[in-house]
């Protein structure tokens, strides 16, 4: 099943986020992965999923980037 990260992109563009296992709920964020992880751990999440939200959305097709 595809996950819609539209809101994630809108709210956290260019930042690192720590996500719950559902891959939607943000439990930490920051300009560096360490900041997002520390915030998540302060909230009791020891092993969140770390993801860097891109600054720009580009289309990926096959082995080439299309703009």
Separation of alpha carbons 66 and 13, rounded Å: 20
Q: Assess whether pLDDT exceeds 70 at residue 66.
A: no
pLDDT of residue 20: 96
- Who has greater pLDDT, 66 or 23? 23
CB 37 within 8 A of CB 44: no
36 contacts: CB under 8 Å, gap ≥ 6 = 15, 16, 17, 18, 28, 29, 30, 48, 50
What does the pLDDT look like over 28-55, one tens digit per residue? 999 999 999 999 999 999 999 999 999 9
Q: Where are the domains of the chain?
A: 6-66
Q: Assess whether pLDDT exceeds 90 at residue 65.
A: no
Whole-model pTM: value is 0.80
């Amino acid at each position: 099943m595809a996950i819609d990260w539209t809101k994630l992109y809108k709210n956290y563009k260019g930042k690192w986020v720590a996500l719950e296992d559902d891959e939607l709920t943000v439990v930490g964020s920051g300009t560096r992965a360490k900041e997002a992880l520390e915030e998540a751990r302060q909230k009791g999440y020891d092993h969140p999923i770390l993801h860097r939200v891109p600054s720009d959305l580009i289309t990926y097709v096959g082995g080439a980037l299309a703009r």
